[in-house]
A = this chain, B = another copy of it.
Amino acid sequence: MAAEIFTEDYKITNFETNLHGTITLQYLLDVIVQASEDQSQAINLGTEKVQENGVTWVVIQYDVDIKELPKAGQPVKLQTQGTSYTKSFANRHFWIRDMDGHILVEVKSLWVMMNLTTRKMVRIPESVVTPYGSEKVKRLERLHKLHKFDVDNAKKMKFPVTFNDIDFNGHVGNTRYINWMSDTLSFDFQKGRLPTGFSIKFEDEVRYGDQVTSEVNIIDDGNTTVHQIMVDGKARSMAEITWKKIN
């Protein structure tokens, strides 16, 4: 039996959109994460409840396929499903649909469970996955393998990590990273293109007070950009964004 799909209505606000009047990549992740947090609350498996066991969910990667970016004021359906899991990994799917049910955005994601004291990966307890109806499997579907980053041809930009970047769980919200990444691209680049998808991978946390360096390679005639977020010479997150020209 497939895992339960949780659905909730949402309306894209004006401030979640950019010059194009379409949702920014950061808010795209923010709204789908909101849906999964609402699902978890609804079955009494919110962050606080999970952390009572000394563990917490950590996202490793999002693979985002954008058919059409939601627009300012657009009512949408947010859907999420704790699809399947192995001993150490779990898959969660997300969909943003228009009110007629057409898929606007589809997201696959990979999660692990971390021990809060040792900060090490641990075996996923059945009690935190079975309530979602998640299917136990031998192997999970592979997520996208990112393009190798070319440090020698990188353009760089620095951002301070601030109090307002810290979320209500006390960590720097990792949805923030994708905007630090896309913000390295010029005004003209972004004005003339819309993203058709992205994959983002998280390696290590960024902390309050850090100065992050966001690095970018523009490849494939501007149809693909490759990104990394560095702190103290160490990559904390990598991504690949695909683009289409407009007008």
Chain A residues within CB distance 8 Å of chain B: 13-15, 17-21, 24, 26-27, 30-31, 33-34, 37, 41, 72-73, 157-160, 162-164, 166-168, 170, 173, 175, 179, 182-183, 185, 187, 190, 208-209
A13-B34 contact in complex given A157-B160, A164-B18, A183-B164, C-beta closer than 8 Å: yes
Considering the complex, give the chain B residue whose CB is closest to the CB of A19.
B166
Q: How many copies of this chain does one complex carry?
A: 2
Q: Do A208 and B187 touch across chains, with their CB atoms under 8 A apart?
A: yes
Per DSSP, chain A at the interface is mixed
Distance in Å: Cβ of A213 to nearest Cβ of chain B = 12
Residues of the B chain whose Cβ atoms lie less than 8 Å from the Cβ of A164: 18, 24, 26, 179, 182-183
Q: Do B15 and A170 touch across chains, with their CB atoms under 8 A apart?
A: no
> Which of A163, A170, A175 has the most C-beta atoms of chain B within 10 angstroms of its own C-beta?
A163
Distance in Å: Cβ of A218 to nearest Cβ of chain B = 15
Distance in Å: Cβ of A68 to nearest Cβ of chain B = 16
10 closest A-B pairs (Cβ-Cβ)? A162-B183, A15-B30, A21-B168, A17-B168, A163-B190, A164-B179, A19-B166, A72-B168, A13-B34, A24-B164
CA distance A41 to B13 in the complex (A): 13
Residues of the B chain whose Cβ atoms lie less than 8 Å from the Cβ of A41: 73
Distance in Å: Cβ of A189 to nearest Cβ of chain B = 9
Q: Do A13 and B26 touch across chains, with their CB atoms under 8 A apart?
A: no
A167-B18 contact in complex given A157-B160, A159-B160, A187-B209, C-beta closer than 8 Å: yes
Q: Do A15 and B163 touch across chains, with their CB atoms under 8 A apart?
A: no
Residues of the B chain whose Cβ atoms lie less than 8 Å from the Cβ of A175: 15
Considering the complex, give the chain B residue whose CB is closest to the CB of A164.
B179
